[in-house]
Structure 1
């Protein structure tokens, strides 16, 4: 490739940063601007992963090293399709890669799911991570809570609800989150999985972390510890499945630890069928016992149980959001593409438009899987270079001057480093890693200080 290449990446989470990293490693004369609607980088690593995960720091350090490259710029506090239109981007960039991920909750279509006291796990995660666009308050007034789901997000939500607030003080939770959790009256958190223990989507590390709290007794209800031939085959073929099953079986037979004030119950082969309650409030959850069908799947038995809970959290998956002037498959929550090339309604590649990450393949898999997505997308982009339209305004300062001229308080990588240092300094007097700044205007003021 002979001509210089200007590329915009929309979304500063792992998917977008990995795409930028692939680009600059593959081509010497490319510069990449990574945009995000938030003033800060890292996407769900900052606002979706529970703050008590020890590996967060490692992941952020790896992403930080990529962002430090002088050929990559971060331009934050700019919403694609709102603050800058797709057709405006083509003035400044030869190609655009969409990497906006998935941050909304997938719906759970059962009666009563919209009652007061029923919540989405993604919304809750945004709250306890200090997302600037959610309310500072959260109604933590239930003694008994149900969490629906069998993935890492469900585990995160259950663990945060069950832990005492003081246990989380060493993390970066905002002060308002600490105060709400400290006043929570919760005693029992029930996590319900529709399938069996061999089909859960937890990682062994996530599962073990449940049992680290000195204040929470993790109780595995043995009536759901069942296996069929499909389950046994999964255990034989996949090491981490066998590890999770071994952990769960050991927990199922141990004695209760009655000195712990809170309990986290794991129920398998229980499918939610209705959220119960009068006067529009959650007063219970009805589940149907499932049975394994021999191939690792399940079917209902017609046996129902009503659980006494006052709040329900659904953690049944994330969902991407459609972007202006781009095609979107509402069933899969993805942008239609071919090897990362965005396709229009006629199945033709939209010149200069590409996609990567969860909005490309759906919200499944771990963070590392986005590297493969990025590699495929960047390979397609580079194969198309000679046919790409040439952006007329190619100087680095052109786009930032345009955005500032519109009065947008954009943030930069240097500004983020100021905010990062400020949050760390807030935590130091209290022996904490950091204390997050939550209000958007306060973040932008510090970044541009």
Structure 2
């Protein structure tokens, strides 16, 4: 959003100042753009701030699905980082501008549609690049309850405390956590790493403690629910009588062998059924071997390696999940990739990689691809697709409208 906002502001700001009689032109009502910003987090307020600063007549309305503004600055910044929260003071000054208005508790796509915003404003700025089809599907969704099912227990969950907070504070929903799932964990979590401890404490609090008056009121009026089911392993999908839709899922009740991250879920022999009409599989990721010439550990789903150096294959390196398994977040992957790159640099410096032999690189690969009728997509090809997505997004009043059909992408770059 930042880069696109920069371009819009530059067009509205700098070029106009070069026109003769600019001050006189700005006094006309016709040049007062009406702009709305969807979302009141940092991106939304910074966008509004920049627009107001660089166009003296622009009017900006900020829409937010929550009643309260400031997004993650309000909900995601820890109390021990007050200097970060100070940015709220700047956002408050923006909101106090006589050319800015804030409208909370308005869900775009449900309460008001994007096309309706487009008819009302000269410009609409979104915090999302969700496709129109997905947006329409979400707006029409009749889902009332969602169960998140895991084979192991609370101490092995893979979500973060930030994600849990967002779920707990999700407007119009209430969490369903069974206090019995957390029995005996109070003493166990004393010696576990702090991030896992804080996450588990929040789950325990949400499950056991009576909600505050405000929270209780919100949950009482909630129309949707979500809950966690631990130590359940999927066995089979149960079909409806028509044989075309699901009516539920049969699950094995499990027990844990071991403790902590290494605990394994073992079936107890007990089985139960959960009634549901939609089932989404999200059971993890496992790398697959590329070909038989590359060492591969099928049990761990990784390429055996040492600091990214593939064992028994000089000059071959790996990085990411195929190197360490499907764990961690983006920053983990970044650091992991840096480590692998450092291994390559060291091998170049020490002569492990022989540079005396000439290599043709893509020239050689290109001839192979050509002989097999394969046409690679270059970065300039991607830029054509990118431009098309941005152009479509502009028509829809958002940063981009993603193209999801690979054949359509290829058709775009073939012209």
Q: TM-score range by the shorter chain?
A: 0.5 to 0.7
Matched residue, 1:319: 286
2:238–2:250 contact (8 Å) kept in structure 1: no
* Structure 2 counterpart of 1:285, from 228, 249, 274: 249
Matched residue, 2:27: none
Q: Calculate the TM-score normalised by the size of structure 2.
A: 0.56
> In 2, Cα distance between the equivalents of 1:431 and 1:262?
29
1:191–1:265 contact (8 Å) kept in structure 2: yes
Q: Does 1:419 align with 2:385?
A: yes
> In 2, Cα distance between the equivalents of 1:375 and 1:55?
30
Partner of 1:388: helix, strand, or coil? coil
* Structure 2 counterpart of 1:231, from 188, 193, 218: 188
1:230–1:294 contact (8 Å) kept in structure 2: no
2:236–2:251 contact (8 Å) kept in structure 1: no
Query: 1:417–1:215: structure 2 CA closer, same or farther, 3 Å change rule?
Result: farther
Query: 1:362–1:247: structure 2 CA closer, same or farther, 3 Å change rule?
Result: same
Q: Does 1:275 align with 2:236?
A: yes
Query: 1:317–1:396: structure 2 CA closer, same or farther, 3 Å change rule?
Result: closer
2:168–2:175 contact (8 Å) kept in structure 1: yes
Residue 282 of structure 1 and its aligned partner are, at CA, apart by 4.1
Residue 286 of structure 1 and its aligned partner are, at CA, apart by 4.3
Query: 1:370–1:440: structure 2 CA closer, same or farther, 3 Å change rule?
Result: same
2:287–2:302 contact (8 Å) kept in structure 1: yes
Q: Calculate the TM-score normalised by the size of structure 1.
A: 0.52
Query: 1:397–1:446: structure 2 CA closer, same or farther, 3 Å change rule?
Result: farther
Q: Does 1:259 align with 2:227?
A: no
2:235–2:252 contact (8 Å) kept in structure 1: no
> In 2, Cα distance between the equivalents of 1:201 and 1:230?
21
Matched residue, 2:158: 201
**Residues 98-109 of structure 1 mapped to structure 2, 5 A cutoff:** none
> In 1, Cα distance between the equivalents of 2:395 and 2:179?
46
Deviations 1:272-324 (A, max 9, x none): 26336357764333456667789555777776543222333332210112212
> In 2, Cα distance between the equivalents of 1:221 and 1:434?
41
Structure holding more strand per residue: 1
2:110–2:139 contact (8 Å) kept in structure 1: yes
Matched residue, 1:307: 274
* Structure 2 counterpart of 1:388, from 333, 340, 353: 353
Matched residue, 1:336: 304
Residue 190 of structure 1 and its aligned partner are, at CA, apart by 0.8
Query: 1:290–1:397: structure 2 CA closer, same or farther, 3 Å change rule?
Result: closer
Gaps of 5+ in 1: 1-51, 57-162, 344-348
Residue 362 of structure 1 and its aligned partner are, at CA, apart by 1.0
Please tell me whether Structure 1 or Structure 2 has the larger radius of gyration of its CA atoms. Answer: 2
Structure holding more helix per residue: 2
Deviations 1:361-382 (A, max 9, x none): 1111222222343233233323
Query: 1:177–1:217: structure 2 CA closer, same or farther, 3 Å change rule?
Result: same
Partner of 2:280: helix, strand, or coil? strand
Query: 1:441–1:378: structure 2 CA closer, same or farther, 3 Å change rule?
Result: same
Q: Which has the higher contact order (CA 8 A, sep 6+)?
A: 1
Query: 1:286–1:422: structure 2 CA closer, same or farther, 3 Å change rule?
Result: same
Residue 223 of structure 1 and its aligned partner are, at CA, apart by 2.6
> In 2, Cα distance between the equivalents of 1:301 and 1:323?
36
Query: 1:288–1:203: structure 2 CA closer, same or farther, 3 Å change rule?
Result: same
> In 1, Cα distance between the equivalents of 2:108 and 2:183?
32
Gaps of 5+ in 2: 1-38, 44-106, 115-125
Q: Does 1:374 align with 2:328?
A: no
Partner of 1:354: helix, strand, or coil? coil
1:282–1:310 contact (8 Å) kept in structure 2: yes
Partner of 1:274: helix, strand, or coil? strand
Deviations 1:372-395 (A, max 9, x none): 432332333233333435563447
**Residues 155-194 of structure 1 mapped to structure 2, 5 A cutoff:** 166=110, 171-194=128-151
**Residues 42-53 of structure 1 mapped to structure 2, 5 A cutoff:** none
Query: 1:272–1:299: structure 2 CA closer, same or farther, 3 Å change rule?
Result: closer
2:233–2:254 contact (8 Å) kept in structure 1: no
Matched residue, 2:396: 430
Partner of 1:317: helix, strand, or coil? coil
* Count of matched residue positions in the alignment of Structure 1 and Structure 2: 283
1:174–1:438 contact (8 Å) kept in structure 2: no
